[in-house]
Structure 1
């Protein structure tokens, strides 16, 4: 990949600095891409393909780069999210990935056991941030999450990291009319999420998919009966959780106490 970038840049008669300025990345990042030290983002490859007149050669490498950035069990789900008409999920441990701040993601990987090397942490953080472009794509997907009350109380890294994360979630729900977040109170006597976290996606052609996190890797679920069971569970969770407006008030109060 790096050699392709370097060759097309040379053919276009551009310096690395000129490419970095036009594609809005640092010169050091562009150099790391060319040396194979970092994996290019999808948006960079699309823009570089146009700038360097690669005629699709660089864009054709995007699937290969995705397989380098994400675990094998997650690649299929990530691609579904990119095209989904709706995305939803239940989380009992963490803020949903599409809503995480960079410092929250950084802490998430730094406390991981077994410990990851710095270069692996950097790769994972960059890949997760890149996925968040799903929320602003055209057409906009409808997005809904139910999260446990304990999630908004867990100071991953520090209270400051959590406070900034909660304020970010509030900003997202206030500015993104395609997004709803609901909090499941800890004291609820009935709870449909005891089997653990899961996610759902519906494609524009009406197909429904599920994804369940499991020890050792997640599972992409395609069987209609199993996906329908997850859809039913998510409907029950939304009914049992606080309303989106009550949830926003709780998140705001929690952030104010930090």
Structure 2
């Protein structure tokens, strides 16, 4: 799926709706959207994302919601210099990204932590060896992903097709 920091409300609601009680779903979606405020800061953090091509082919929330999501993704890719989104195409198969979502966070003092995520939970990792191994995984996935320009073109082609 498209990562939470880049999700529009309808798309977020669709991907988070698996058996949630409506009140809980509302809270989860609101919390996800609130976290996106980091993108609007005067000095926003630099972020790099790699999305699997399947995220561009799975119309979560229906066609209208998905078009809105892809339109916003294309906008971010074009107009947010602090954000880079790269697409891992179907043709690229790397073991490094197959076992779940992960993030590397570099804190202001230069320390890095990893956040590993599975379907029902997430774990913040401080162990330097695991953080380094996760950083290597990210570099392997980035090396297999399309360049930024080709990724943007793929998103635009997908948007035209849906």
Taking structure 1 as the reference length, what is the TM-score of the superposition?
Answer: 0.60
| Alignment partner of 2:108 out of 199, 204, 213 | 204
| Alignment partner of 1:119 out of 14, 23, 26 | 23
Alignment of 1:83-98 (within 5 A): 94-98=1-5
Alignment of 1:56-95 (within 5 A): 94-95=1-2
Residue 23 of structure 1 is matched in structure 2 by none
| Alignment partner of 1:157 out of 61, 65, 78 | 61
| Alignment partner of 1:241 out of 138, 142, 145 | 145
Alignment of 1:106-255 (within 5 A): 106-110=13-17, 112=18, 115-255=19-159
**Aligned with 1:212: secondary structure?**
strand
Q: How far has the Cα of 1:227 moved from its partner?
A: 0.3
Equivalenced residues, count: 162
Sort the Cα spacing of 1:225 and 1:120 in 2 relative to 1 into closer, same or farther, 3 A.
same
Alignment RMSD (CA, Å): 1.3
Structure 2 CA distance, aligned partners of 1:116 and 1:191? 31
Contact 2:114 2:126 in 1 (8 A): yes
Of structures 1 and 2, the larger Rg is shown by 1
**Aligned with 2:96: secondary structure?**
coil
Structure 2 CA distance, aligned partners of 1:129 and 1:140? 16
Structure in which a larger fraction of residues adopt strand: 2
Structure 2 CA distance, aligned partners of 1:213 and 1:236? 18
Sort the Cα spacing of 1:228 and 1:104 in 2 relative to 1 into closer, same or farther, 3 A.
same
- Extract unaligned runs of 5+ from structure 2: none
Q: How far has the Cα of 1:215 moved from its partner?
A: 4.3
Higher relative contact order (CA 8 A, sep 6+): 2
Structure 2 CA distance, aligned partners of 1:122 and 1:192? 33
Contact 1:210 1:230 in 2 (8 A): yes
- Extract unaligned runs of 5+ from structure 1: 1-93
**Aligned with 2:136: secondary structure?**
helix
Structure 1 stretches of at least 4 aligned residues deviating more than 4 Å after TM superposition: none
Q: Deviations over 1:45-87 (max 9, x none)?
A: xxxxxxxxxxxxxxxxxxxxxxxxxxxxxxxxxxxxxxxxxxx
Q: How far has the Cα of 1:210 moved from its partner?
A: 0.6
Which deviates more, 245-254 or 192-201?
192-201
Contact 2:94 2:141 in 1 (8 A): no
